[in-house]
Amino acid sequence: MKFLLNIGLIWVLNSCGNSTAENNSPTAGSTEKETTLSGEQMFKVNCSQCHMPDKDFIAPSMTGVESRWKDKTLLYAFVKNSQEVIQRDQYAKDLFIKWKQTPMLPFPQLSEENIDAIFDYCNEVAAAK
């Protein structure tokens, strides 16, 4: 039964967040404000179904996520394909277990710059409170 619920959750979340970040990515020469808005848009499209910027929700808070990972390259890899990283990293495996083994959808379309813009947005939301 848990398996079927997880499959259903994945299907719902995938259909809600199935979008590319290409149209939301910051362009060369964009201002800091445009990058923040782009991060906000990408967060809302790709992450808000499970994450909140500044507190735990269905998944952990995104504020300060960079400081919780030993290696930012590993964090980028996790965002792009969490299940692959869970197979080889203990922190990722522990996180998966802590959050009731609910898999995070893969986001291979997000560049490292897109991911940083999302993290920057979440950190700014938390700092504004």
Q: What is the pLDDT of residue 46?
A: 96
CB atoms within 10 A of CB 110: 23
Q: What is the pLDDT of residue 5?
A: 42
Q: What is the pLDDT of residue 65?
A: 97
Q: Dig out the tokens for 2 from the structure.
A: 């848990």
Q: Which of 66, 69, 67, 64 is nearest to 127 (CA)?
A: 64
pTM score > 0.85 for this model?
A: no
| Contact in structure between 103 and 82 (CB atoms under 8 Å) | yes
Q: What is the pLDDT of residue 129?
A: 86
Using only the alpha carbons of the chain, give its radius of gyration.
Answer: 15
Q: Residue 22 carries which DSSP code?
A: G
Domain count, the chain: 1
Q: Dig out the tokens for 24 from the structure.
A: 């939301």
Mean pLDDT for back-to-back runs of 10 residues, the chain (129 residues): 42 43 43 62 96 96 97 98 98 96 95 97 95
| CATH at residue 121 | 1.10.760.10
- Supply the range of the domain harboring residue 102: 2-127
DSSP 3-state assignment of 96? helix
Q: What is the pLDDT of residue 73?
A: 98
